[in-house]
Amino acid sequence: MKIYLKIWRQKNSQSKGGFVDYTLTEVSKDMSFLEMLDMLNIQLVKKGERPVEFDHDCREGICGQCGVMINGIAHGPLKHTTTCQLHMRSFEDGDTIYVEPFKATAFPIVRDLKVNRSSLDHIIASGGYVSVDTGQAPEANSIPVTHEQAEAAFDSAACIGCGACVASCKNSSAALFTSAKISQLAQLPQGNKETPQRVVSMVNQMEEEGFGHCSFTEACQVECPEDISVLNIARMNYEYNRSRLLKK
């Protein structure tokens, strides 16, 4: 396959970026999108040019590290996939592909296609955990959890934190990411106890990081690699309102 690439190149967060055109020949349709970028980078290194920087890690679709805008869609044309699980067979020979980093004020560009998603970590650090006493692991069956409860919590826990929800949102809202964690912990007896405090501090942190509001366009769920439900956001709102209304 012959592929024409328009890749966003930017030296650092301060400098002005722009598109640079590259042409790749002999691209195999069985390559993953990231392997195609590897192929480009090998050629660039051989020519003595700076390779295109992008985030990646497991390349199995589970770590949440990779993620770029491909032809204006987070993680490319397939729904519910990560960039690493997108293959060149999804494109046609002779296609022009625009590759841009995720753009949001809370995701400053580090270099090229690499963005700083620490803001998501700050949200988790503000309350996305269960406070436990240190010591031996407690007996697993001392707190009963039904299978349905565990499955429902796991559906929310499936979020890999890639940031595609933010990139796909017209308001750059991190509501899906934040609510997935709140919802997961609220559905389990271990996490539920701290929900009122957790939801307020996580929502406030989300606000502080500069993310926008949720207007339920549902675009985030469509582009989410894990198909996390937007109803988690409604649950976050419910828990937040409840916590604020019952505040003593």
Contact indicator for 166, 102 with CB cutoff of 8 Å: yes
Residue 190 or 204: the one with the smaller Cβ distance to other proteins is 204
Q: In whole angstroms, give the CA distance from residue 216 to residue 230.
A: 8
**β-sheet bridge partners, residue 96:** 4
Q: Is 73 in the site for other proteins (CB under 8 A)?
A: yes
Q: In whole angstroms, give the CA distance from residue 243 to residue 200.
A: 7
Q: Is 242 in the site for other proteins (CB under 8 A)?
A: yes
Q: Is 86 in the site for other proteins (CB under 8 A)?
A: no
* Cα four-point dihedral sign 56, 58, 64, 67: positive
Interface pick for other proteins out of 41, 90, 192, 204 (rule CB under 8 A): 204
Q: Is 207 in the site for other proteins (CB under 8 A)?
A: yes
**Nearest distance from residue 222's CB to other proteins, in Å?**
4
Q: What residues from 93 to 152 belong to the interface with other proteins (CB under 8 A)?
A: 98, 100, 103-107
Which of 56, 98, 93 lies closest to 77 in space, CA to CA? 98
* Residues that contact other proteins, how many (by CB under 8 A): 50
Interface pick for other proteins out of 72, 94, 135, 144 (rule CB under 8 A): 72
Quick one: CA torsion of 108, 112, 118, 123, rounded to 10 degrees?
70
Strand extents, DSSP E, the chain: 3-9, 18-24, 69-70, 73-74, 96-100, 109-111, 114-115
Residue 4 or 216: the one with the smaller Cβ distance to other proteins is 216
Interface pick for other proteins out of 172, 184, 187, 195 (rule CB under 8 A): 172
DSSP secondary-structure letter at 229? -
Q: What residues from 31 to 50 belong to the interface with other proteins (CB under 8 A)?
A: none
User: Which residue ranges make up the site for other proteins (CB under 8 A)?
Assistant: 6, 8, 19, 69, 71-74, 98, 100, 103-107, 167-168, 170-173, 203-204, 207, 210-220, 222-223, 230-235, 237-242, 244
